[in-house]
Structure 1
């Protein structure tokens, strides 16, 4: 009789995500992943699939968790501009405290140019963030927190492309004060 494979798949995927985050997709060996997940390779193949499928599941779980956190944080804000400001401050903390950068941004450069499935996950995540920001910006314009001539799509693109660059700056210089100053400048430009 075959042995039943029992492990907490969600927890195992979280552990594998950490390995991919630290080592990248190409740098993470199957042994690294199964050791972190506390399973053997046959359990991985029988339940999840190969390394690529594991990475897809890790990236899906990572982006899903980010979406949930974004929505919860926005609900607790007192206004759309407060939610935008919170978002920018949250990005700063993720950049400064996240020793390995953002998994989605790292993946965009390492894997997505060659992998349409990964590119689709990242594109969907970016589109969610863009929609999230444009909704806040539109609401802020409607209630007079931002100027009527504010272009929500352009401003959302500006915010996303700017904070993406913060990860690179932080990886190169490890200067939290610089990132905080950049965030304050962005807030002053966005809110006026």
Structure 2
């Protein structure tokens, strides 16, 4: 008689996501995953599938967490500009202080070029990020916190692009002052 596999799948996905986030897809072994998830490989194959399927589920989980965060920020009663500044400063803090930084950026460069499912998930995440920034910038303009002669769509696209550039710059140069200065310059451009 076959044994029923019982484990908390959501917790296991979270643990696997943390391993992929730290090591990247290619450097993560099946053993790394099963050890972190505290299951054996047959349980993984029987419940979730192979490493690739698990990775897709982890990327989806990561982007779902980001969406929840953006929704929470947008529903806040705080000043839209204050929320945007906090978001920018948090992005800088993650880039310069968190070894693993952004799983979406890492996955886009490592896996999305060869995996349509991951690319689709990350494209949807990018669109949600754009919409979050666009809505926040538009709210700030409506409240007079940002000049209304700017294009919120362009600013949202621009920020999405430059924050990825900050991540790359920090990987290559390791200069936190440079990243902080670029962030402050972006904020200054929004508010002058």
Q: TM-score, normalised by structure 1?
A: 0.94
* Structure-1 residue corresponding to 2:166: 166
* Structure-2 residue corresponding to 1:148: 148
- Residues 56-86 of structure 1, C-alpha deviation per residue, up to 9 Å, x if partnerless? 1100111111111222234345211112111
* Structure-1 residue corresponding to 2:107: 107
* Structure-1 residue corresponding to 2:17: 17
Does residue 1:127 correspond to 2:127, yes or no? Answer: yes
* Structure-1 residue corresponding to 2:53: 53
Matches within 5 A, 1:20-39: 20-39=20-39
Structure 1 stretch displaced more, 169-178 or 134-143: 169-178
Aligned mates of 1:64, 1:40 — CA distance in 2:
26
Aligned mates of 2:73, 2:135 — CA distance in 1:
14
Aligned mates of 2:61, 2:91 — CA distance in 1:
19
Compare the two structures and name the one with the higher helix fraction: 1
* Structure-2 residue corresponding to 1:139: 139
Q: Is the 8 A contact 1:166 1:179 kept in 2?
A: yes
Does residue 1:189 correspond to 2:192, yes or no? Answer: no
Q: Is the 8 A contact 1:56 1:118 kept in 2?
A: yes
Aligned mates of 1:155, 1:82 — CA distance in 2:
16
Stretches of structure 2 that go unaligned for 5 or more consecutive residues are none
Q: Is the 8 A contact 2:74 2:132 kept in 1?
A: no
Aligned mates of 2:191, 2:60 — CA distance in 1:
33
Structure 1 stretch displaced more, 95-104 or 114-123: 95-104
SS at match of 1:147: coil
SS at match of 1:26: coil
Stretches of structure 1 that go unaligned for 5 or more consecutive residues are none
SS at match of 2:20: helix
Aligned mates of 1:134, 1:178 — CA distance in 2:
26
Structure 1 stretch displaced more, 154-163 or 89-98: 89-98
Aligned mates of 2:2, 2:97 — CA distance in 1:
45
Q: Is the 8 A contact 1:101 1:171 kept in 2?
A: no
Q: How many residues align?
A: 192
| Root mean square deviation of aligned Cα | 1.4
